[in-house]
Structure 1
Amino acid sequence: MHTTPLSPDDPAELGGFTLLRRIGHGGMGQVYLGESAAGEAVAVKVIKPTVVDSETRQRFAQEIEVLKTVWGPRVAAFVKADTESEQPWLATEYVEGPDLRRLMDTRGVLTPLAAASLGATLAEALAGVHSQGLLHRDLKPANILLGPNGPKIIDFGLAVFAESSASLTAPNMVMGTPACMSPEQANGEKPLKAPVDVYALGAVLLFMTTGHYPYQADHVQVLFSHIVNPEKAPDLSGVPEELAGLLSSMLQYAQQDRPTMDEVVAQCVAVIKSHGVTVAQARRRLTSLTAVAYEPPAPDPVPAPAPATTVSPASAEATTVLAPAKDPMAVAPTVPLPQQSAPTHPPAYTPTVAVITTDSEPDSGPVDVAVPPADPAPAPAPATTTRPPAGPRRSAAARRIASQLRETYASTAPF
């Protein structure tokens, strides 16, 4: 998910959560990336002081009660909230990944296979929401996040109980996103029922496969006139042939002509299987798009290791010994060496080591490790050493070389 730094006016802490960055904002408030005392990431939605009044608090409290009721693996979970504080806030599960709108901006339209996987997953999730007696009412690309484990639905701020006509909105007020709004919602009909979310999901899938919505206009009044006109057919240009029938049925004007969410799942699964892959394989391919669209913040730079000291430069297979690394994370062999990293050799290369040392040699200082030249020079007279009966003594430098050789063999072994 795209984030931006906090501004000087942003709070540093709220409700026990440390606020780290901004995630997004809307007409009613700001959303932050927060962190609990134990390090759990959350999305914290804060109502702007300029819009805090009794009605806003009541609507916000209703949203929280709805979130407490909604559950499921594809719904961002409720964590904590406070409607009575000076700035009411709500914390939900943080989903690390782009919303579908940003995915489209970065990746472009989805393939039929990816769209079918997306449709099956979301339809199944929304069927679960409907079984709890709830509707979303504002499903759109910006309210669907593609996380590491698949898509998740967020922002149930306009959700209502499916069988209830109770609402905090005025009798003639229409709330929602026009681009994905069904005709009955645009007409202000109440109570709304499950087909309103079927239509919105069809609009989302249409956008993700073609780059446009069912109806488009320069002015919102004209857009509404298109949506509520039963003679005005939705624009299905560019829809992949294998999805055309499904999207046409989901975007039908009359509610009773639209499929149920379970029927949407079945048709999407049929498209997936027609590609010769399983549903699980299609889901993995869909979530792999997150790596294309989401770029997490870059880690703090790691200091570069000291330059290598090359020994026997005339030899094409000369090995090198790195100077001790200042940052232990800069050295990453299979078995970490405290001061030196393992040299790199071609496959099946067996190094020849010449160690020039004495028992009195100090631990520090350069160590020569090299392949002898083709025409070796006469070896120097060996140093005279006294070895105790218990076994040979080895200097610190020799022990270091032996450790390095063991690592070299381990890293180049074929097994």
Structure 2
Amino acid sequence: MRLQVGKRPHTCSLKPITYHGIIETHGSAREQCVANIPQTIGNYRLEHELGRGATSQVWMGRHIFLHERAVAVKLLLSHDEESVLRFTREAELTSQLRHQHIIQIYDHATPTNSFPYTVMELVSGGSVRQRVEKDGKLPLREAITIFRQIGSALDYAHSRNIIHRDVSPGNILLDASGSRALLTDFGIARLPDQRHTSTDMIMGTPGFFSPEHARSATLVTSLSDLYGLGVILYFMLSGQLPWETPPQHPDYRFDAILPLGYHGVELPLEVEKIIRTMLAIDPQKRYPTASAAMEALDGAFARSGIVTDEQPLTLGEATAVRAINTAPSFQAIGLVESEVEQALAADLLREPFERSHARAEELRDPLVLARVLDQWSTSGRRREFRKQHLGRIVNLREVRSRNVYFYQLEVLLETRTEPKDVEEPDANAPDLPVQKEQNRWQVVLPPPSAFEDDPGRAEIIPGSERVIACPRCEGSGYELCPECKGSRRVLVSRPVATSDGGDGVALRRQQEGPGHVAASRQRAAGQPAHLNDAAASETTQVKQVLVPCTVCAGMGRLKCDRCHGEGRLVQRRAFEWSRRALKASSYDDLPHLDENQVRQEVELTKVYEERHMGGLKREWSAVPGLKGLIANVQKQLGTDTCVAMAAVTIMMVPYTEVRLDLGHDEVVIEGETEERRTDDRVHLVQIYGFENLVRVGSFAYDGSQKLLFFWSFLATIAMLLLLVALLLPIFL
């Protein structure tokens, strides 16, 4: 069933379905529709209806003159321009495809006085959907055979830049024997540069279209077809869709994939991982081709001892190891799987791995290695010192390939201090919601957006609020004035200058008082004696006077500084938080390989980039290159510090080690004289990067050429010195 859903509003045009067992109509409606169908279409007589959809019917037809020629005739019942255009495009696209597992188109026409029709191959075994609905889950071998055949058909269509966009069990037909599967219904297929697709439509069969289908029909790519193929494989093996709740309109949420064991299907865990990779939400994390997925499945079945009947159709011609300069014990080992592929398989970008795998398979061929080494002999700096035809004079012993990984771990550490009480006046008596007090680590903080240091701030713990009487003023809101102690008045002294005969309480300054000291200073300064005597006769009178307290303005009390006169305090618990960014890197430390030099000489390819909130992903610890980095981070964690955000980026360089010697007795190179070798030591050649850069040891350099260059250099110096000696007397 194909669904076309406009995001505004939700509309559904029912399936223009292929012709096997789709919708059977009954009663007068069907009889009326059949009555309108002509008995012949083109050169074909229509015998009986096979199936129908909302806009089309499929009939079995037989050639009028070639009576043994039975076909399927698809009639378009709708005559609107959009439907006719799509109907014609379906026939046109399908006719371009010549593949044993894609249904064949024999004829197509849009007559003005009848129904538009397409004549196609008749397949009488029904669809995969019908088969599963009737018999339940399929046997493993049959499911893998159908998967392999339809996968090869999709790879072929994708090689012609045609995207099917509706890969579903209803669009896979089986012949009468059930051994041949055919892909059909290219009604909504498109070319990548096609402009006819509506941008606001969701097109495809619900339950089998990809997450990008749900966003827009224009986002659908060949990887979307492979997603549908992965769902079909799961459907054939289990009889069910891979989710507990299938994606549904309007949000189309794609939940986690249920294990096959949930439906009683026991298969190796590696097979489960391969299916999850095909159903990755991110298209770039899926296998780039169906053949790549099938190759991974074949390897998983082989390692588990599971035999499938049919061998791969065309996964690339296997290269035989040729007996050219190879030791009897020569081993050509392909790409060795590492812990990275095992631990992070479902989240890795698949395209670089397919390239690396193809490279490793190519370098297993001794002839390819010979070409690579010969090219090194004749290119680059100091090539005049390199042994010529190196690829043809060495004796190969072992070839082994693997991927070298470079890791980067970014971490944002978050620290939250122990909560402390903070308080503020209960001004305006705000509403305080009653709720359970949270733990400090339960408090939601602003989410981090980048790996940057953040000084943070204080954060109140929800539910920790309480109202108390102010301890300082005991809830009164006021406290005694510290100056007048509540009496509202204070004594102040006011000095008054007067003579000795004056009344009142007088205090004569003593000889050592300030007046005496001042008089002495005046005399010392040469003041006249009569002035000094007059000053000495004066006295200062001091009176004690009660005045209003200026501190409290005569109130005898002050507003409490702690509660600001409210008499109540709101107490809360708060903590301080901050964030600190860390970055660390490492790489696979292989013997004999200078990883830092490799990083400078070749381009690193990104294969993994994942950001995780609230801790470190468990899968990361299974990668040896990340274990040390994670251990250093964990040393800094504690009750007050945790990981707020972490990100891992993994870059890759393909790497091949070739072990060889020069120990065979003689090598004859066409056009040159024989060369005898007696060196049977094992040497190492390193080939790395998709550029296939070569690094060799000193064995690959010609010693005689070096010696010749040395003597030539000395001879040149000698000639120059002789020339200088001859010319010097002339100029002097």
Q: In the alignment, what sits opposite 2:285?
A: 257
Q: In the alignment, what sits opposite 2:163?
A: 135
1:145 and 1:153 in contact (8 A); partners too: yes
The unaligned stretches of length 5 or more in structure 1 are 283-415
Secondary structure at the residue paired with 2:154? helix
Task: Give the 3 Å change call, closer, same or farther, for CA 180–24 of structure 1 in structure 2.
Answer: same
Deviation at 1:158, TM superposition (A): 1.0
User: How many residues are treated as equivalent by the alignment?
Assistant: 273
Q: In the alignment, what sits opposite 1:89?
A: 117
Distance 1:189 1:246 in 2: 26
Distance 1:153 1:248 in 2: 23
Deviation at 1:219, TM superposition (A): 8.9
Task: Give the 3 Å change call, closer, same or farther, for CA 277–116 of structure 1 in structure 2.
Answer: closer
Q: In the alignment, what sits opposite 1:279?
A: 310
1:80 and 1:90 in contact (8 A); partners too: yes
Secondary structure at the residue paired with 2:134? helix
Secondary structure at the residue paired with 1:114? helix
Q: In the alignment, what sits opposite 2:86?
A: 59
Q: In the alignment, what sits opposite 2:257?
A: 234
Q: In the alignment, what sits opposite 2:205?
A: 177
1:3-402 to 2 correspondence within 5 Å?
7=31, 8-9=34-35, 10-37=37-64, 38=66, 39-48=68-77, 51-85=78-112, 86-147=114-175, 148=177, 149-161=179-191, 163-167=192-196, 169-188=197-216, 190-215=218-243, 220-221=248-249, 224-227=251-254, 232-236=255-259, 237-238=262-263, 239-242=265-268, 243-259=271-287, 260-270=289-299, 273=302, 274-279=305-310
**Higher share of residues assigned strand:** 2
Deviation at 1:179, TM superposition (A): 1.1
Deviation at 1:182, TM superposition (A): 0.3
What do residues 93-123 of structure 1 show as CA deviations (whole Å, max 9, x unaligned)?
1112121111112221012232222212211
Distance 1:19 1:141 in 2: 27
Q: In the alignment, what sits opposite 2:702?
A: none
Deviation at 1:138, TM superposition (A): 0.5
The unaligned stretches of length 5 or more in structure 2 are 1-19, 314-732
Distance 2:297 2:43 in 1: 43
Over the matched positions of the two proteins, sequence identity in percent amounts to 26
Deviation at 1:241, TM superposition (A): 2.4
2:101 and 2:182 in contact (8 A); partners too: yes
Superposition RMSD in Å: 2.6
TM (normalized to structure 2)?
A: 0.35
Question: Aligned partner of 1:233: which letter?
Answer: A
Task: Give the 3 Å change call, closer, same or farther, for CA 206–25 of structure 1 in structure 2.
Answer: same
Deviation at 1:70, TM superposition (A): 1.7
1:120 and 1:269 in contact (8 A); partners too: no
Deviation at 1:73, TM superposition (A): 0.2
What do residues 54-109 of structure 1 show as CA deviations (whole Å, max 9, x unaligned)?
12111112112111212200001011111244311111111121211111122210
Distance 1:90 1:72 in 2: 18
Question: Aligned partner of 1:206: which letter?
Answer: Y
- Structure number with greater Rg is 2
Question: Aligned partner of 1:29: which letter?
Answer: S
Question: Aligned partner of 2:310: which letter?
Answer: V
Deviation at 1:189, TM superposition (A): 5.2
2:168 and 2:228 in contact (8 A); partners too: yes
Distance 2:109 2:207 in 1: 32
Deviation at 1:2, TM superposition (A): 5.3
Deviation at 1:265, TM superposition (A): 2.1
TM (normalized to structure 1)?
A: 0.60
1:215 and 1:226 in contact (8 A); partners too: no
Distance 2:89 2:308 in 1: 42
Distance 1:219 1:179 in 2: 6
Task: Give the 3 Å change call, closer, same or farther, for CA 186–216 of structure 1 in structure 2.
Answer: farther
Distance 1:264 1:135 in 2: 18
1:146 and 1:152 in contact (8 A); partners too: yes
Task: Give the 3 Å change call, closer, same or farther, for CA 117–219 of structure 1 in structure 2.
Answer: closer
Task: Give the 3 Å change call, closer, same or farther, for CA 256–94 of structure 1 in structure 2.
Answer: same
1:209 and 1:240 in contact (8 A); partners too: no
Task: Give the 3 Å change call, closer, same or farther, for CA 108–248 of structure 1 in structure 2.
Answer: same
Secondary structure at the residue paired with 1:226? coil
2:201 and 2:217 in contact (8 A); partners too: no
Task: Give the 3 Å change call, closer, same or farther, for CA 11–257 of structure 1 in structure 2.
Answer: same
